[in-house]
Amino acid sequence: MKDIFVLMEHRRGELRDISLEMLCGASQLGGNVVAVLLGSGVDSFAEKAAGYADKVLYVDDPMFENYNSEAYQKALSALIKEHQPGLVLIGNTAQGVDMAPALAVELGAPLVTDIIALEMEGDKPKPTRQFYGGKLNAHMTLKDAGMYILTVREATFQVGEPTKSGEIVKVENPVKEEITYRKFVEYVEPEVGEVDITQSTMLVGVGRGIREDKNLPIVEELAKVLGADLAASRAVVDAGWLPPDRQVGISGKTVKPKLYLAVGISGAFQHVTGMKGSELIVAINKDPDAPIFSIADYGIVDDLFKVVPKLTEKIKELKGA
Ligand X SMILES: Cc1cc2nc3c(=O)[nH]c(=O)nc-3n(C[C@H](O)[C@H](O)[C@H](O)COP(=O)(O)OP(=O)(O)OC[C@H]3O[C@@H](n4cnc5c(N)ncnc54)[C@H](O)[C@@H]3O)c2cc1C
> Minimum Å distance from CB 40 to ligand X?
27
State how far the Cα of 192 lies from the Cα of 209, in Å rounded to an integer.
Answer: 26
Residue 184 interacting partner from ligand X, other proteins, none (CB closer than 5 to 8 Å by kind): other proteins
The single residue among 20, 235, 281, 283 that binds ligand X, judged by CB under 6 A, is 235
Which range of residues in 1-9, 22-30, 178-186, 302-310 is near ligand X by CB under 6 A? 302-310
The residues, any chain, with a CB within 8 Å of residue 291's CB and separated by 6 or more, are: 133, 134, 135, 266, 267, 268, 269, 272
Size of the site for ligand X (CB under 6 A): 27
Report residue 273 CA to chain centroid gap. Answer: 7
The single residue among 74, 153, 234, 246 that binds ligand X, judged by CB under 6 A, is 234
> Minimum Å distance from CB 87 to other proteins?
14
Pick from 200, 3, 169, 167: nearest CA to 89:
3
- Binding positions for ligand X, 246-275, rule CB under 6 A: 247-252, 264-266, 268, 270-271, 274
State how far the Cα of 204 lies from the Cα of 262, in Å rounded to an integer.
Answer: 6
The residues, any chain, with a CB within 8 Å of residue 220's CB and separated by 6 or more, are: 230
The single residue among 63, 290, 296, 311 that binds ligand X, judged by CB under 6 A, is 290
Pick from 166, 165, 164, 172: nearest CA to 58:
172
> Minimum Å distance from CB 289 to ligand X?
9
Residue 265 interacting partner from other proteins, ligand X, none (CB closer than 5 to 8 Å by kind): ligand X
The verdict on 168 binding ligand X (CB under 6 A) reads no
The single residue among 65, 70, 98, 287 that binds ligand X, judged by CB under 6 A, is 287
Residue 271 interacting partner from other proteins, ligand X, none (CB closer than 5 to 8 Å by kind): ligand X
Rounded to 5 degrees, what angle do the CA atoms 294, 295, 299 make? Answer: 75
